[in-house]
A and B are shown apart, each in its own frame.
Chain A
Amino acid sequence: MYKNIFKYDDMKRSEHMAVRTTVGWYFWTHQLLEISGPDVTAFLDYMYPNDITSLAVGRDRYTTMLDEQGEIIDDVVIMRMDKERYWVSTLYATKTDDWWYFHQGNFNVEWREITDEWEMYAVQGPKSRDLVESLVRDSVSNLKFFAHMDTEIDQMPCLINRSGFSGEKFGYEIYIHPENRDALEALIKPAAEKLGGKEVTEFQVMAWTLPTEANYYYMRDLAHTNPFETGLDKNINWKKEFIGKEALLEIREEGPTREMLGFEVPEPDIYIRSKQYGGPGEPVYLSGEEIGRVSKLVYSYMKDVNIGYILAQKGKLHVGDHIQIHGYEAVITEKNWMN
């Protein structure tokens, strides 16, 4: 009963492990907003809590976006393309567009959605550099993490961004115009196979199992949380003004009431509801007391065990604690299953 939808699925396992052991590539187009203007750096610096002013041209930065209550309403990667031009990669473009509009005020900026102009392919895994090197005109060997460069693949203009959502040390994103999509795929596929890699086709692998195993969040995990609860407060620039700062300062003063923790469920074939499918998530009990809810439940192919995140009352749980979730025994762990 409740046959595990991950554990016995050879397709998911092979796609996941291709990324971990060789290279996996996948169509990973996000929504993309291009924003520019004389005030663009100041505007983004106000919209996002992490420092944007120090972001160099050609580099990227991850940051949350907060509302006035300090709740996370989006998390994005900001890429500085020129002195006064940035790309913002999001899965929330429509709402981001509104949010920017309502907060633009006197900032001299303009933006447009360019999602339809660029397709993005993720190339992730230990052999991803080899794969990308075999395709591009200019070497990417000196490209640092969260840095991007323009080059060509078989005379097709492209942008290579060293980044990823898999937790791999080596991972790249190839941005290419849509009309060149098929041609690029025709090149990537055999090149990956030559390295023992393959295409990742399963949404659950690219968005859930790979990132979760590496302590990354995906969308819903962060909704209605603040950066202190999710451990995303470390790179906040407290010296500047940004939306949500006032609320965050209060939270910092009083201390967050919740925290995101890792957990494992040793029993393989389980039924535990989690927020990643919508809904409130399964209640988590410690000695009969409800102390949190399950945010995410996936599977670690590296550890061969059910893993996930719970959002629990702060300070109630520690690594190694045993908890009960829908009648199943679970154990609190660190949020990283890569090693």
Chain B
Amino acid sequence: MGKKIDERIPQNSGEGANFKNYYGIRSPWNKIYSYQEALHYASRFESVLSAATIQALRIIVPDYEERAQMMCEEAFERLYTTGKYYGDDDGFGIHPFMCGQYAGALIGDKGDDALLMCGRCQDFGTYRAEKELDVCDWDICGSELCRTTTMSLQGQAKASAERRRKGPEIDYMMVEAKGCGDRHCRIIAESREKYPALPHKLWESFGPAVTDDMKKYTEEKDCIDESMMFREECNYHFVNGTNNETDSSNQMINMSTGASLYILPAIAETVKRGYVTRHQADHILKCVLEAAGKAMFGERYAIKACRDWLGVPSSFGEDARVMGALIEMLLQSLVCEYDVESFNKDEVVLIIERSGLEITATKDMPEIHLWMWQGMVKTLVNAQWSLWEEKSPERKMRIKIAKKIDKFM
């Protein structure tokens, strides 16, 4: 098998034809999807991957409370520490006179919108804040993640507050969570000085809120499904109310996912705390992710839909190019650079920049993807085909998709 690249539509197709340039993703067969569609695709794919990853964590730490508490502790400490050293108050619209932890809500508000978790801020004050989300792609990952994200916000809010004059401490709670089946996610943050309540452990960050009667519940008919930065009525700008504006070129999907920001660090924490060895943790992750990958195309209609989405020519049978093309679409959506070394009916070889997949600088993210893809190829193509890494140049991941017989597979 040589390094042959079968005929593809060139990436510069259209140049000189007076087409307007715009950022989008393109399959090898010229199926083009907008930047917006690409972000949604990447967001949901990474969420599915994250949902699988958290199953590994559930195997490692079976007890819900123990697991959730550990995740919350890890995220709180890490985001507090990074928030202390890499704070960007100006960037979040946090003004010098904003004393106390409530201003941390501005960090969460901006992050939500960038991660396509659209909704609305309902209250923003020194002693109380409320944010309601209509959409959260992470809603399939499990309620532990909902608790953990809340405590990461608590950590960031604390770090942010310490840079300014002392003000009220705020208890951030996710009193409704789409991950628990609620219609919305709802963060209510309350000062215990003004709204007294009994103290709780970090993982018990679900409320109830003292100010429940102040909450504003958005009815289904008024719910939205796009972030401000993709809505014409918002002029394609996220605005947080303190004049912080972010336009639609903001790209967050490759900056934060459930797996990269919370779940894999939590698994690393289980190793640190002695629940498992690193080798055991990786073994569990690999088993779970391969299974999750296989489940993605277990039904024939899923394969048909995927081929249609990619624009696979009907003359194509079951070969590596289908899987390779799907990976390319994800990589483009994540703005992860890669080269195509070969792309033919016998094999596909992609050389991927590891840094592009190491979302939030989480070093094991490329392997997580690799294991998931290995499962996917088994059902999207067929069981004769495998996907593995070999001969990777430094800081790159060279993946090969080809037929392979392995008696220990």
Q: Which residues of A contact B (CB under 8 A)?
A: 1-3, 5, 11, 26-31, 91-94, 115, 119-120, 181, 201-204, 206, 219-220, 223-224, 271, 273, 275-280
Contact = CB atoms under 8 A, between A and B. Distances in A.
Given A2-B216, A220-B243, A275-B239, A280 B121 contact: no
A277 B121 contact: yes
Contacts of B216: 2, 271
A269 to B, nearest CB: 9
Given A27-B99, A203-B102, 6 more contacts: A3-B213, A5-B123, A91-B243, A219-B243, A271-B216, A277-B123
Interface in B70-103: 90-91, 95-99, 102
B125 A278 contact: no
A93 B90 CA distance: 8
A31 B126 contact: no
Interface in B102-142: 102, 109, 120-128
B239 A278 contact: yes
Nearest to A222: B243
A275 B241 contact: yes
Interface string B219-247: 00000000010010111001111110100
A28 B90 contact: no
A279 B120 contact: yes
Nearest to B110: A278
Of residues B122, B168, B242, which shows the largest number of chain A Cβ atoms within 10 Å of its Cβ?
A: B242
A26 B96 CA distance: 12
A277 B90 contact: no
Interface string B15-40: 00000000000000000000000000
A181 B165 contact: yes
Contacts of B122: 277
A91 B97 CA distance: 10
Contact of A115 (B96, B239, B241): B96
B233 A280 contact: yes
B123 A220 contact: no
A18 B269 CA distance: 51
A202 B120 contact: no
A76 to B, nearest CB: 13
Interface string B355-373: 0000000000000000000
Contacts of A278: 109, 120-121, 228, 238-241
B126 A203 contact: yes
Contacts of A2: 214, 216
A100 to B, nearest CB: 15
Contacts of B96: 29-31, 115
B126 A92 contact: no
Contacts of B126: 201-204
B3 interface: no
Contacts of B194: 11
A219 B245 CA distance: 12
Contacts of A29: 96-97, 165
Contacts of B95: 30-31, 91
A233 B56 CA distance: 62
Contacts of B243: 91-92, 219-220, 223
